[in-house]
Structure 1
Amino acid sequence: MNDILNFSNVNCKNCYKCIRECPVKAIKIENDKAYIVEELCIGCGTCFKACPQDSKKMMSDLGQVKEYIRLGYKVIASVAPSSVADLENMNYKKFVAALKKIGFYKVEETIVGAKIVTEEYEKYVKNNKQQLYISSCCPTTNYLITKYHENVIKYLMPIDSPMIAHGKYLKKVYGEDVKVVFIGPCISKKYESLDQDSFGVIDKVISIQECINLIKDIDIQNIEENEFDNKPLGNISLFPVEEGMDFHMENITKIKVSGMENVKNLIKSIENNELSNMFIELNACMGSCVGGIGFKHDRGIHYRKNKVKEYTLDRTLDEEYLNEIRGVFKNLELKKEFKHYGIKFDTPTEYEIREILVSIGKKTVKDELNCGACGYDTCKDKAIAVYRNLAQRHMCMGYMKDRVEAVSNVIFQATPNYIVIVSHDFKIIDINDAMANVIKKKRDQLIGEYIGDYIDINYFIDVLYNKNDIISKKLKWKEYNKDIKASIISLNEHRALLGIYIDITKEENQKNTIKEVKLNTINTAQDVINNQMRVAQEIASLLGETTAETKVVLTQLKELAMKGEEED
């Protein structure tokens, strides 16, 4: 199978919903991203529909179809009868006209092939006596059986599907060089068109939604209506609804099963030899083809089923046209051989499974929750997927939760900070050992106690009623002789308050010591300055007295000297 469906790694968010929905677990998780494993895939498109992140991507043939038309090929549309179920407010005649407008050479209904396939089924049942017969019109159920249920392959009708039969008919009538494009809601038809034994019969496959995009620029309201190029073939147009296959088979029970879970359950019954003498119509989509993935799915299955029924009321059988078709099919080979794909899985031993389970915390059977969050039905199934490199060990939600909680608990207990969680009535929900040691009680004894008996709750009250968290508020625990930097945060979702206290007593003591040293230094410096000033003043005073005395003596000497000169 080719890479028709896959996921965008950009949007994949590890939700594992694609694995949960995949009926055969054909999804691989690698580097936390989902990938479709083509050899395991059955082309149902369930993952495409289920992805909540819009991460899926589908290979589109729109570009090639446009190129066929541009290059002048005769492009013929084979339109599945289920298409009329939802053409987005457009009747089928407008739809046909729009296809012709953009360049389709012919537009026919796939019921041309469905009618002949039905008759081939009747012939086969009449001429081949066996216990069970399973319709082979649905590619997905065919892949499910041929890949995973080898013992059931023998019951598949060895006849081409209506799409392949119609493709062979169109190339017989219009020439081998025409390009046949199948239009329908079935994504699995993209895979079927590429099967080795039918390759080249259907050149391209586009879904209803892709086709709507192809004709979106056509003025639908003002376009002239057209009929299909084939003529009506009666109630065969009911083929896409669950009860649509109208077979004429005597002495045999006909049952119809749709939806993957119902199909899988039916196959299990076959493998258990619980059924016999039955013709079984299997359809992967719930409600049959009208539940196809290729619809936009704004409307429900029952709406689409009723639209097909309404359409069929106007499709009376044209016997002459039917005989013309039969004449063409006489020269066509519609046999199909179904073979086992030979998928082989490495099977782990019980010891290897147990080793994987133990590595993700599943040490005993009681630890195996089988919750399905990882996408697998049981923990053992997930372990087997890990062994086959389809899953990663950490995909277990319970395991990851336990790991996170374990790490959180280590941090909660190992931190030197004091932590307490209290309820809105200020009862202790949890407290770490560091804070319990300050209070001088055991942690278990403090759970449920009133926090106000041990520390001031004014800040808790402030946060609870004023709705403003407190961050890094300095306060004093006088009763414990500690300086604290407190942060109190409201945990609204849990109706609780979280208190985180950083002990800054040592830092505060250091600050106080440094402050005291500074003050002592300042005081000492001031004393030195004062002493220096006093000494300076004393020296100045002494100097002043000495200078005065010297001045008196010198004045007297001067006077004596002057007097001596006069006498001489």
Structure 2
Amino acid sequence: MSETQVVFTLTAKCMDCYRCLKVCPVKAIKMKDGQAQVDPNLCIACGTCVRECPQKAKAYLSGVESAKRAIESGSAVAMVAPSFAAFYDKWERLRFIGALRRLGFKLVEETAEHAYDVSMNVKTIAGNAKRKHICTACPAFTQFAEKYREDAVELLTPVVSPMIQHANEIFMKYSGMMKPVFIGPCIAKKKEALKYPQLLEAVLTFEEIEKMFEEKGIELKNCEESFFDGGVKGHARWYPLGGGLLKTAYGDDISAVKTCVPEGFTEIEDALESVIESDEGIIVEPLFCKGGCVKGPGGRKDVNFYVAKKRLAEYIESAPVNGEAGFKPVMKAEFLFKSAKGADITEAEIEKMLEKTGKGNPAQRLNCGACGYESCREKAIAVIRGMAEPEMCMPVMRRLAEQRTDRIIETSPNGIVIVDREMKIIKMNAAFGAMFRCAGRQGAHVSDVIDPLPFEKLASETEDMIQETAAHPRAGITCHQIFYRMKEENHYVGIFVDLTRLTNTDKRLAELKEKTINQAKQLLEHQLKMAQDMALYLGENTAKSEELLHRLVVAAGGKDENRK
């Protein structure tokens, strides 16, 4: 059964650039008819393609309408990710909370309040890292593990993320009567929320909440300052940055525990390979976005990353902290491996596809990555699985295009010649060789074959293109000819259309025309002489004959001198 589509393509904007395919860490992009489609069964909703698409052709599942319905019910609760402080300046933060209340949220709470409980539960499970553990706060990572890394799934800590724990606390506290709406920079949270439809009404990105403010005409400068409902313990506001979960759990004792905090897909892959092969205990806190949640694809794009980090650090240092000790147990999470890789492809199938796509010779497997895949082999596998098109290979398509061009030139009935800056012939087709009886004369000076003047004019840059009709006495032909410059290569091209047969035909028609007129005149003179001798007998017939012959002369283009 197909999964819900969280990330998708706006086909009208997709320009067939393969950018999304190049950056997608799990290659969940299917190319069909030049359009990049997102396969929901392969996609982990990390949002990398949304952030990287230069045409803004990637979009994600909107939570706006669901959030509006929750607000209209009068019982909506805003659950705000701690990363909010990275996207708003100091004077805006409390006004942002006020803006949410003006929008209609009955309660506005900080999800960091429950991040503390999540961290402490992870610490309880992992202890001093005698075994290997992988934290599960990042939904993009957990979805990646469940689809692509079976060896990592068994190491995941069975603890829900702060968002799910927060929603569950609201559900329990208000007996399901309130409607939680999470607000953060993460698109993967939308996919995570689909697992818990009974807990969350909607998940919004900061982009979406800004649009809702705009629709209602809410500007932060006009909003009153307000404070979050509830309080945050410990270092939980560090969650948006790398190591935030572990810092919250272990505090100043973090140095006594062996940890690993990979950020971004490449670091995560490297860390997993190292951790899984090792027998040592360690706690891994992966963040799929390089730079942490502050770099989430649903954050505000108008805020510089380093400015965002500075703002967040400033907020963490200045925001009030609940000093109460103790923590609550959290919901248990269950993670199952459901492979998204598909059936295995045999070596024979791969080699056959490489041959079919013009890569049978290993020397032609450039592994250039222009198609979006790291190697020609990976691309061949994708073609077999229906995820890629053979035409995506740029070097092959260029080679085929060059072959087609060469074929067109070689089979053209018109003569084509290319000369270099020194006026030497570097290429000619068969038709040119036949026209000027110079087949095999590559390397010869063009003046040995034809008049070089048009090429010399191009070389002097006095003209960019020349069109003319000229006779070539040595070859016995007349041609309409076009000359132009290939600027980048500094070569000159001549195209010759043989008009000799047409010219000869016109000449013969003119000769026939003149001969017909002369014969008509002679016949008319003879007829008139006979008419004079036989006037009585041929009077009427002569008049008719004279008129007929007159029309013949005129039709042939002549002038009847016997008529005034």
TM-score, with structure 1 as normaliser: 0.87
Tell me the amino acid that sits aligned with residue 59 of structure 1: L
Query: 1:278 is matched with which residue: 277, 282, 287?
Result: 282
Residue identity in the other structure for 1:73: G
Alpha-carbon offset, residue 460 of structure 1: 3.2
The alignment status of 1:97 with 2:94, answered yes or no, reads no
Partner of 1:17: 19
Residues 269-418 of structure 1 mapped to structure 2, 5 A cutoff:
269-271=274-276, 273-274=277-278, 276-320=280-324, 326=327, 329=328, 333-343=330-340, 345-418=342-415
After superposition, the C-alpha distances for 1:386-426 in whole angstroms (9 at most, x for unaligned) are 11111122221122112111111111101111012233453
The question of whether the paired residues in 1 share the 8 Å contact of 2:148 and 2:341 is answered with no
Offset, 1:200: 2.2
1:183 matched residue in structure 2:
183
Aligned-partner Cα distance in 2 for 1:232–1:11: 43
Native 8 Å contact 2:483 2:492 kept in 1: yes
Deviation, 1:100, is 0.6
Q: CA–CA distance in 2 between the matches of 1:88 and 1:491?
A: 56
State yes or no: 1:268 paired with 2:265: no
Alignment of 1:12-51 (within 5 A): 12-51=14-53
For 2:222 and 2:46, the matched residues in 1 are separated by 37
Q: 2:449 aligned to 449, 454, 460, which one?
A: 454
Q: Distance in 1 between matches of 2:284 and 2:108?
A: 31
Q: What does residue 538 of structure 2 align with?
A: none
* C-alpha separation in 1, matches of 2:333 and 2:159: 5
Structure 1 pair 437–88 and aligned structure 2 pair: CA distance change class (3 A): farther
Aligned to 2:207: 209
Deviation at 1:164, TM superposition (A): 0.6
Higher mean C-alpha deviation, range 107-116 or range 414-423: 414-423
Query: Offset at 1:539?
Result: 7.5
21-30 or 340-349: bigger deviation: 340-349
Deviation at 1:140, TM superposition (A): 0.9
Q: CA offsets, 1:270-317, max 9 Å, x none? A: 34x136221111000001111111123344432211110011111242
Match of 2:257 in 1: 252
1:79 Cα shift?
A: 0.8
Q: CA deviation at 1:336?
A: 0.7
Change (3 A) 1:274 1:436: farther
Aligned CA RMSD, in angstroms, stands at: 2.4
Provide the secondary structure at the position in 2 that maps to 1:446.
coil
- CA offset at residue 160 of structure 1? 0.6
> Which residue matches 1:64?
66
Q: Which amino acid aligns with 1:149?
A: R
Indicate the SS of the match to 1:421: strand
The one-letter code of the counterpart of 1:334 is: M
* CA–CA distance in structure 1, aligned partners of residues 204 and 373 of structure 2: 32
1:133 corresponds to which residue? 133
Cα distance in structure 2, aligned partners of 1:466 and 1:349: 62
Match of 1:174, as an amino acid? Y
Amino acid at match of 1:119: M
Post-superposition shift, 1:517? 1.1
3-state SS of paired residue (1:91): helix
Aligned to 2:87: 86
> Which residue matches 2:417?
420
Q: Which moved more, 1:427-436 or 1:366-375?
A: 427-436
Amino acid in structure 1 at the alignment position of 2:78: A
Give the distance between the partners of 1:89 and 1:63, measured in 2 at CA: 30
Contact 2:92 2:220 in 1 (8 A): no
CA distance in 2, matches of 1:346, 1:125: 35
Contact kept in structure 2, 1:76 and 1:104, CA below 8 Å: yes
The one-letter amino acid of 1:345's match is: G
Report deviation, 1:212: 0.9
Decide which of 481, 486, 495 is 1:491's aligned counterpart.
Answer: 486
Aligned partner of residue 108 in structure 1, secondary structure: strand
Q: Which runs of 5+ in 2 are unaligned?
A: 536-564
Match among 1, 4, 7 for residue 5 of structure 1: 7
Q: Which amino acid aligns with 1:378?
A: S
Kept after mapping to 2: 8 A contact 1:86/1:304: yes
Equivalent runs, 1:104-183 vs 2, <5 Å: 104-126=105-127, 130-183=130-183
Q: Which residue of 2 aligns with 1:519?
A: 514
CA deviation profile, 1:61-81 (whole Å, cap 9, x unmatched) = 1122112222x2311111111
Q: SS where residue 498 of structure 1 aligns?
A: strand
Say whether the 8 Å CA contact 1:260–1:284 is kept in structure 2. yes
8 A contact 2:234–2:323 mirrored in 1: no
**Contact conserved, 1:234 with 1:315, CA < 8 A, in 2?**
no
Residues 160 and 333 in structure 2, CA contact (< 8 A), matched pair in contact too: yes
Q: Which runs of 5+ in 1 are unaligned?
A: 541-568
Query: Does the CA-based 8 Å contact 1:233-1:315 persist in structure 2?
Result: no
Alignment match of 1:199 (pick from 190, 197, 200): 197
- State the 1:230 CA deviation: 2.4
Report the CA distance between 1:439 and its aligned residue: 3.5
- C-alpha offsets along residues 303-348 of structure 1, whole Å, 9 cap, x if unaligned? 211110011111242224x66xx4xx45xx4111111113352222
Tell me: CA distance 1:266–1:392, structure 2 relative to 1, closer, same or farther (3 Å): same
**Cα contact 1:182–1:205 (8 A) shared by 2:** yes
Asked if the contact 2:184–2:205 (Cα under 8 Å) also holds between the matched residues in 1, the reply is yes
Q: Structure 1 residues 356, 169: CA separation in 2 closer, same or farther (over 3 Å shift)?
A: same
1:353–1:384 Cα contact (<8 Å) kept: yes
**In the superposition, relative to structure 1, how do residues 67 and 425 fare at CA in structure 2: closer, same or farther (>3 Å)?**
farther
For the Cα contact (< 8 Å) 1:252–1:277, is it kept in 2?
Answer: no
SS, match of residue 77 in structure 1: strand
- Report the Cα distance in structure 2 between the residues aligned to 1:450 and 1:180, rounded to whole angstroms: 83
SS of match in other structure, 1:342:
coil
Q: How far is the alpha carbon of 1:479 from its aligned partner?
A: 1.7
User: Could you tell me whether the CA contact under 8 Å between 2:182 and 2:204 is conserved in 1?
Assistant: yes
Contact 2:139–2:192 (CA<8 Å) still a contact in 1? yes
Change (3 A) 1:88 1:426: farther
Write out aligned runs for 1:472-487 (5 A): 473-487=468-482
**What residue is the counterpart of 2:545 in the other structure?**
none
For 1:358 and 1:262, the matched residues in 2 are separated by 34
Change (3 A) 1:111 1:437: same
Partner of 1:470: 466
How far apart, in 2, do the equivalents of 1:200 and 1:318 lie?
A: 29
**Structure 1 108/313 Cα, relative in aligned 2: closer, same or farther at 3 Å?**
same
Code of the aligned partner of 1:214 = M
| In 2, Cα distance between equivalents of 1:5 and 1:506 | 65
- The AA in structure 1 aligned to 2:68 is K
